[in-house]
Structure 1
Amino acid sequence: MHSESPGNIFIVDDDRYVLESVSILLRESGFSVTSFSSGHDAIRQFVTEPVDLILTDINMPGMTGIELLEKIRYLDRETPVLLMTAYADLDTAVRAIQKGAFDFIIKPYRPPYLIHAVEKGLTYKRLTNIEKNYKRELEKTVELRTSELNDALNKLTNMSGEIIERLTAAAELRDEDTGAHINRIGKYAQCLSSQLGLSASFTKNITVASAMHDVGKIGIPDSILLKPAALTAEEFNCIKQHTVIGEKILQGSSHAMLQMGAVIAATHHERWDGTGYPYGLKAEAIPMEGRLVMLADQYDALRNSRVYKPAFSHAKTCDILLNGDGRTLPEHFEPRVLDAFRESEKVFEEIFETSLAPSMEDDRA
C-alpha cells in the first residue's frame, strides 16, 4: 500500500525527541515526512504545499494543536489532522473532534496503532480526492452532455421550424402567395402577444405556429381556391372547411408548436360575438391564440387587394378594424386584443411596409 501511495505527511511537535522518533517510524513505514517544531512553520509550509495528512501535538507553546487545527480547517476542510497528547483529557478530545480533528492519539503511543491511524487518515484523504475528481468529471460530463443536448434541441427546433415553413408554403403557394403573408402573420401575432404581456414561451410559439393558420387550404380544390371571380355561397362554404382540414392535419401531435398550430388553424376565423366559423365559438370559448391570429389575418387581408376590393391603406385598415365598415365590426374582436392593436398599430404598419414581397393572395376566407 505504501509503495503505491506513500502519502505526504506533516509532523508538528515542540518535543525534538518525539518529532524525530515519529518521523523515523513513519519514514521506515514508507511515508514521505516533513517535520516542524512549531505550528507557525507548518502553516506557512501548508499554504504553498498542501499535504495528505497532518500529525500534531496538542500542547505546544506559541500555537497549540487546536489552534493549528482551526487554521488548517480555515484553509482546507478535507486534509485529515491527527492530534497527539500526553493526557487523556476527554473534554479536549471532544473539542478537537468538534473542530474537525480526524483522530486523537494518546502518548506514549504504540507504533502499530499510530501507523494504523495514519493509514486510516491517508485512506480517507485518498477516497475524498477520488470523490472530488469523480464529481468534477461528472460535472464536466453533465456540462458536455447538456451542451450536446442543447445543440440537438436547437437543431430539432430549427428543423421543426423549417418543416412548418415548408408545410405552410405548400398550401400558400397554391394560393399564389409568396410566403410573405405567413411571415407577417407571425410578426403581427408576436406583437399582439407582447403587447398583452403574455408569457415568453407563448409569444415564441405563436410567432411560428401562426404560420400554420391556413395550412388546411391544401385540401381545397384549385377551382375554388384560385377562382378569379366572386365565390358562390356553396363555394364559400367549401373554402370555410380549410379551418377544419387544418385542424385535422395538425391535431394529435405531442409537439407544443403543432398543438398550438392546430388550435390556430381551427379558430382563426371565430369571432368574439359568436358570428365566426367553423364552430361559432364566442368570447372566452375562443382560445387566445385564435383571437390574436384572427385580428392579424384580418389586418393583412385588408391591406392587400382582393377580387372584391382594392388594397387599403394602413389608416383605412385601422379605421375598419377599430370602428367597423359593415362587413368587419369591432365586435368581432376581443376588446383587449383590439386595444392591443390600437396601441401597436404603428408596428403593424412597419411590418407590412418593410415586407419584401407583400401578399397578393385572394384570401377570401
Structure 2
Amino acid sequence: MESTASGIVIVVDDDPYVLESVAMLLSVGGFEVHPFSNGFEALDELRRCPPDVVLTDVNMPKITGIELLEKIHEIDRDIPVILMTAYAELEMAVSAIKKGAFDFIIKPFKPPYLIHSVEKGANYKRLVLIEKNYKMELERTVMQRTRELADALARMKSMSRETIERLTAAAELRDEDTGKHIMRIGMYAKRISRALNLPEEFVETIGIASAMHDVGKIGTPDSILLKPGPLTREEFEIMKSHTIIGGKILAGSTHEVLQMAASIAVTHHERWDGTGYPAGLKREEVPIEGRIVMLADQYDALRSWRVYKPPFDHQKTMKIILEGDGRTLPEHFDPALLKAFQEVEQDFQDIFASQQDDPVHRDEAAAGIPVGAQ
C-alpha cells in the first residue's frame, strides 16, 4: 500500500497481535514505526526522538491512552495523538477530544482508514512545524529590518543634525553671535517648554530647531549686520527681513525639525501685543515655538555683549523683561511664558554661566569681528 505521507510514528498497544499488525501496516504505508507495549517506554522514546504522530490504545493496564495523551502534551502539545479503542463509548470519545486527541479510531478498523488518519496527523505536524519556522523566520526578518530601520533613522537624524549645524555655522560666521549663544538658545527653549508641560517630542525638536532662528542673517549685508552704531530706519527694515529670508531658506521641508525651524525663523521677533515683525502677529497668532524662542533670545541678548550695549547681569535682565525699560516691555511676551520663565529663572542663569564662549571668541565679539573671521 502506497502512502503520500511519511514520518515517524510511535505505536502503543498492550496486545502484541494488534501492535504487530498496526506496525506492519504503517511500515508498508511508508512510515518509520516505533512499536511499544508499554506507555512509559513510549514516553522515554518520545523524549529522545520526538515523533510526527503517536497512535495508542485507550485501554492499557499500566497507563491508559488518555493518561498517555496528557503526558505527551505536557512534553509537546504539537504532537498529534490518535486513540484506538474496541469500545465505541461516546463519553470516552468526548473526554479524549477535550483533552486534545487528534483522532479517534474504533477497532477493528479498516487499513485505509488507519493510514489516512495517521497521514492526516503527520501532515498536521508538518504544517505546524512549517508555521513555527515561518514565524521564527518572520520574527528574525522583522528584528533585522527593525535594526536596519533604526540604523537608517539614526543615520538620517545624524545627517539632519549635521546639516542643521552646518547651516547654523554659516549664519554664525556673519553675525556677532557665537556657537555658545546658539547652544544656550536651544537649552533655554527646552527648559521653558518643559516648564509649560509640552510634549517631550516638542521639547526635543525645539532644542534643535531653535538653533536656526537667525539663519536668515545669511542674506543681511555685513554693513548692517556688524554696524557698531544704531541702525537707520532703512537699515532696520533690511535687518528685519532676515526673518523672511530664514523662512524661505527653511520652507517646504517634510522634516519636522526643519518645519519648526522655518516657523521659528519667521516668528521669533513677533510680540504678544502685536508690535513685533515681520507680520505684526499678536497673541496666539504667533506659534508657541516662536513665542518661546523670542523670550529665550531676548534673555540671551540682554545678557550678552552687543555693539550697541554692554552685557547685563541676571538680575537686571530679569527686571527688564518683567518690568520693562522702554525698549523691552512685559507686554511683548506671552503671560503664560513669563510665569513659566519666572519659575525656571535660576536654570536660565545656570545655563548662561555654564555655556560661555572661549576667550578668543569673546575678544572677537568685543571687537565687533564675526566669530571665526580673520
- TM-score where L is the length of structure 1: 0.91
Report the equivalent of 2:323.
Answer: 323
Moved more, 231-240 or 327-336: 327-336
Report the equivalent of 2:372.
Answer: none
- TM-score where L is the length of structure 2: 0.89
How far, CA to CA, are the matches of 1:39 and 1:135 in structure 2? 33
The alignment status of 1:190 with 2:198, answered yes or no, reads no
Q: Is the Cα–Cα contact under 8 Å of residues 213 and 246 in structure 1 kept in the other structure?
A: yes
Report the equivalent of 1:302.
Answer: 302
Q: Superposition pairs for residues 227-246 of structure 1, below 5 Å? A: 227-246=227-246
How far, CA to CA, are the matches of 2:15 and 2:324 in structure 1? 101
* Helix, strand or coil at the partner of 1:10: strand
Moved more, 67-76 or 340-349: 67-76
Q: State the shift of 1:152 in Å.
A: 0.6
Report the equivalent of 1:135.
Answer: 135
* Helix, strand or coil at the partner of 1:137: helix
Report the equivalent of 1:56.
Answer: 56
How far, CA to CA, are the matches of 1:191 and 1:127 in structure 2? 57
Cα distance change, pair 345–5 in 1 and its aligned pair in 2 (3 A): farther
Cα distance change, pair 47–335 in 1 and its aligned pair in 2 (3 A): farther
How far, CA to CA, are the matches of 2:207 and 2:112 in structure 1? 75
Question: Runs of 5+ in structure 1 lacking a partner?
Answer: none
How far, CA to CA, are the matches of 2:283 and 2:301 in structure 1? 22
CA-to-aligned-CA distance 1:197-238 (integer Å, 9 cap, x gap): 111111111110111111111111222112122101111111
Q: Is the Cα–Cα contact under 8 Å of residues 10 and 53 in structure 1 kept in the other structure?
A: yes
Question: Runs of 5+ in structure 2 lacking a partner?
Answer: 369-374
CA-to-aligned-CA distance 1:50-108 (integer Å, 9 cap, x gap): 32111111223343322332333343232111111112334433443333222221211
Report the equivalent of 2:70.
Answer: 70
CA-to-aligned-CA distance 1:325-354 (integer Å, 9 cap, x gap): 222222221122112221222221222222
How far, CA to CA, are the matches of 1:321 and 1:127 in structure 2? 73
Q: Superposition pairs for residues 1-365 of structure 1, below 5 Å? A: 6-357=6-357, 360=365
How far, CA to CA, are the matches of 2:30 and 2:105 in structure 1? 20
How far, CA to CA, are the matches of 2:5 and 2:109 in structure 1? 24
CA-to-aligned-CA distance 1:173-207 (integer Å, 9 cap, x gap): 11143322111111111111112211111111111
Cα distance change, pair 347–48 in 1 and its aligned pair in 2 (3 A): farther
Cα distance change, pair 64–294 in 1 and its aligned pair in 2 (3 A): same
Q: State the shift of 1:3 in Å.
A: 11
Q: Is the Cα–Cα contact under 8 Å of residues 169 and 179 in structure 1 kept in the other structure?
A: yes
Q: Is the Cα–Cα contact under 8 Å of residues 5 and 119 in structure 2 kept in the other structure?
A: no
The letter for the 2-side match of 1:265 is: A
CA-to-aligned-CA distance 1:223-273 (integer Å, 9 cap, x gap): 211212210111111111111111122122111111101111111111112
Q: State the shift of 1:40 in Å.
A: 4.0
Q: State the shift of 1:4 in Å.
A: 11
Cα distance change, pair 177–118 in 1 and its aligned pair in 2 (3 A): same
Identity of aligned residues (%): 63
How far, CA to CA, are the matches of 2:345 and 2:5 in structure 1? 75
| Corresponding pairs, count | 361
How far, CA to CA, are the matches of 1:324 and 1:213 in structure 2? 24
The letter for the 2-side match of 1:266 is: V
Q: Is the Cα–Cα contact under 8 Å of residues 173 and 179 in structure 1 kept in the other structure?
A: no
The letter for the 1-side match of 2:357 is: A
Q: State the shift of 1:44 in Å.
A: 4.7
How far, CA to CA, are the matches of 1:274 and 1:340 in structure 2? 21
Q: Is the Cα–Cα contact under 8 Å of residues 87 and 106 in structure 1 kept in the other structure?
A: yes
How far, CA to CA, are the matches of 2:324 and 2:176 in structure 1? 28
* Helix, strand or coil at the partner of 1:67: helix
Q: State the shift of 1:130 in Å.
A: 1.2
Q: Is the Cα–Cα contact under 8 Å of residues 227 and 307 in structure 2 kept in the other structure?
A: no
CA-to-aligned-CA distance 1:107-158 (integer Å, 9 cap, x gap): 1122232122212211111121111111101110111011011101110011
* Helix, strand or coil at the partner of 1:35: strand
